[in-house]
Amino acid sequence: MSIDMSQFYQTFFDESFEGLETMESGLLGLDVGAADEETVNTIFRAAHSIKGGSATFGFTAVAEFTHVMETLLDEMRAGDRMVTEHAVDLLLQSVDCLREMLTAVQNEDAVDSERVSNVQKDLEILLNGDESSAAQTENTVEVVSENSNNVSTGWIVEFKPFDYLLKTGNDPVRLFRELSLLGEYTTTVNAENLPLFNDFDPELSYLSWTVELVGDITVESINEIFEWVDDDCELIVTAISSQDEEVVVDIDASAPEQFSQEVEEETEVSPIVENNVQELKPENAPEAKTTPAPAPAPDKRGAKKPSVDQGSIRVGIDKVDALINMVGELVITQSMLSQLGENLTQEKLEKMQDGLAQLERNTRELQESVMRIRMLPISFAFQRFPRMVRDLSHKLGKEIDLRLLGEQTELDKTVMEKIGDPLVHLVRNSIDHGIEMPDERQAAGKPRMGVVELNAFHQGGNIVIEIDDDGKGIDKEVIRNKAIEKGVISENEVLSDEQIYDLIFAPGFSTAKEVSDVSGRGVGMDVVKRNIRELGGTIEVKSEKGVGSKITIRLPLTLAILDGQLIRVGGDTYIVPLVSIIESLQVRDEQVNGIAGQAELYKLRDDYVPIVRLHDVFTLKPDSEKLTDGLIVIVEGEGNQVGLFVDDLLGQQQVVIKSLETNFRPVEGVSGATILGDGTVALILDVVGLIKLSKQERIKAA
């Protein structure tokens, strides 16, 4: 039975990219000198899995490139090669190159063959240099003959795969296809180790083959075909001379015993791929003295086109179990309610009410279980920074200690994907603008090595991410002078520390003296703020000159569900996010002040808060326009407060957010919509947008 391998492409790509992350993390943890066996083994296994999977799916260029990396890693783990800074740098470059290759293959784009060739050449130079003189490949083919000639009139190849070969992602059928392209050949199968049908395991290899090749074929071309399985088989290649004398060319004396303890850890292939590789059943084994048809012509990558990435997520079995349990509880409750509803009487009403309450609990718990499936540890976003900080510190000549805290803090996958780039901008700025040069730090009485710390934790219904550094801090006067120079503020304008720090997020604002590819063009920080706002989050900066800076980001745990306060304005219902509400209060006339009829302010203790009449914003008819007849809801966004004038507060509830932009169009002051229990649609207010609208109205009035 032929299997369409393209259905497993996405699984292969997902696991390959995870493998690259594992390799990168391991390489960053290697110390110069003797290699740590466990770390190198982890890196090697990831490379081995990628090579095996690539070969399985016909991504030959990826497999060949990975094979060179694997050879270098194999020498390190065997103790034949020391770990050097140059070797780690080159392997990290190779990981980048491999990531680019896989991305190109996944997107059906052309691979940058020039870059691949250059990196591969550097790897081969390192392999063939002085450092590798002690490490020789075990299975190098040498012609044992007085007149050593690598071209023969024929060859006999005795191929006996170890029983676990199929689990490595390799398939003997493909090897025979490649051999068929070299010349005419016949094959004889040895099935003496084939078990009885009841004992047959389709994932194990029981057969061995003897192949006779005829033609002007080099031994190198044969060796090249079997190099993918050189550690997973016994191979004997015998040359047939023109005088019909047989000369033993290659004997792989490797015994399966030496691999038995490492099989499980060196054959990490996706369970889906592992269970679906083409099964080499007895009836599919090559018949004796047969010549197979030539292999079909491959496309430009040697495989079918992969499907478009639809995105995927890995879910822990505990979360799946919890979901299944909740569905079971829901089915039981539904069955109970169904029975009560068949012959509903007055006596059954109390049981019906209890059943409905139970249904509500089950539904809420089911909703929470489903939402937890989308939750991922923030380590997925943090894992890119060790490599980035290492590269930047080398480039800038700085010494930096990166500390990652709270890596298991979970947040929604969608939030995770969108917060990655803003975090990169902020960390790069901390390194470039915050951390001083080692000599400068030493002169200031600081350690030569600067510290950049990323921390994540839950606080209420939000996730808080902090980027903290012990650098030179932010000079408020420099920022203020630059803002005056650019016309962002006037010379006489008085700003608080928070307002001055907020200027760094203005479009085109930069205090860098030189433009570099790290920072200094004034693009990035405004995008950071906009992206965080689009996620319903806030960003705050605190700094002390000469001591350091801390940037705090607050984000909702999920973009799908919101805890909200229902408010009424006239006949319409709106929802205000609970996290934005500070307090609600009854209006008193003596607390209300006006500025020449241009704006209304409410005196809240020692401060004045602008009043936003929602009925004016949304052109509605309220119950009354007198402030004392309604309520003021004090809300905060990005450090600013306003009071929303509403007719009434209706209650609090959790709502499912529906995108207004996707289903209708963007509306200023509104972040989304939801459907209430009675079937009506309620708009979810965007507090930051309303504050912005309020400012614009006051400016127009002025």
Q: Is 425 a catalytic residue?
A: no
What is the pLDDT at residue 204?
87
Kindly give, in sequence order, each residue whose CB lies less than 8 Å from that of residue 15, ignoring residues fewer than 6 positions away.
Answer: 49, 53, 270
Q: What is the pLDDT of residue 571?
A: 87
**What's the rounded Cα separation, in Å, for the pair 455 and 554?**
12
Output the pLDDT for position 339. 83
Q: Is the dihedral of CA 133, 135, 137, 141 positive or negative?
A: positive
Is 190 an annotated catalytic residue? Answer: no
Element (H, E) at 544: strand 538-544
Instruction: Please give the DSSP secondary-structure letter assigned to residue 33.
Output: B
Length of the chain: 702
Q: What is 377-556's CATH topology?
A: Heat Shock Protein 90 (3.30.565)
Identify which of 306, 299, 274, 271 has the alpha carbon closest to the alpha carbon of residue 13: 306
| Residue in the block written with tokens 């020498």 | 75
Question: CA 242 to CA 237: how far, in whole Å?
Answer: 16
- Spell out the SS3 assignment of 205-241: CCCEEEEEEEEEEEHHHHHHHHHHHCCCEEEEEEEEC
Which residue(s) pair with 573 in the sheet? 568
User: Helix, strand or coil for residue 659?
Assistant: coil
* pLDDT averaged per 10 residues, the chain (length 702): 67 86 88 82 88 83 88 85 88 91 88 89 82 37 39 78 81 82 85 84 87 83 79 82 44 36 37 36 35 36 42 77 87 86 80 87 83 84 88 89 90 85 89 91 92 89 89 88 82 81 77 54 69 83 90 83 87 88 86 70 84 87 87 83 89 82 77 83 86 73 62
What is the pLDDT at residue 441?
92
Q: Using alpha carbons only, how large is the chain's radius of gyration in Å?
A: 34
Query: Which class in CATH covers the domain with range 151-284?
Result: alpha beta
Beta-sheet pairing, 208-218 with 151-161: antiparallel
Query: Which structure tokens are listed for 146?
Result: 């007085």
The CATH-assigned architecture of domain 5-132 is Up-down Bundle (1.20)
- CATH code: domain 561-701 is 2.40.50.180
C-alpha 311/C-alpha 166 separation (Å) is: 28
What was the pLDDT predicted at 512?
59
pLDDT of residue 519: 53
Domain boundaries, the chain: 5-132, 151-284, 318-373, 377-556, 561-701
Structure tokens at 474: 């932010």
Predicted pLDDT at 401: 92
Task: Give the separation between CA 603 and CA 493, rounded to whole angstroms.
Answer: 23
Structure tokens at 449: 């090595």
pLDDT at 13: 86
Catalytic choice (15, 24, 70, 600) = 70
| Degrees, nearest 5: CA angle 674-678-679 | 50
CB-count burial class (<10 Å; 0-12, 13-18, 19+) for 346: exposed
The yes-or-no answer on residue 48 being catalytic is: yes
Query: Tokens for 580?
Result: 């934005």
Query: Which of these, 501, 512, 513, 434, lies nearest to 473 by C-alpha position?
Result: 434
Catalytic: which of 429, 436, 600, 638?
A: 429
CB 183 within 8 A of CB 214: yes
d(C-alpha 509, C-alpha 354), whole Å: 61
- Beta partners for residue 577, in sequence order: 564
Cα pseudo-dihedral 424, 428, 433, 434, rounded to 10:
80
Closest CA to 458 of 411, 413, 414: 411
Q: Could you tell me which residues come within 8 angstroms of residue 495 by beta carbon, excluding any fewer than 6 positions away? A: 480, 489, 503
Its pTM stands at 0.59
* Buried-state track 122-144, b at ≥16 Cβ within 10 A, e below 16: bbeebbeeebbeebeeebebebe
Helix 60-77 and helix 37-57, axial crossing angle in degrees, nearest 10: 160
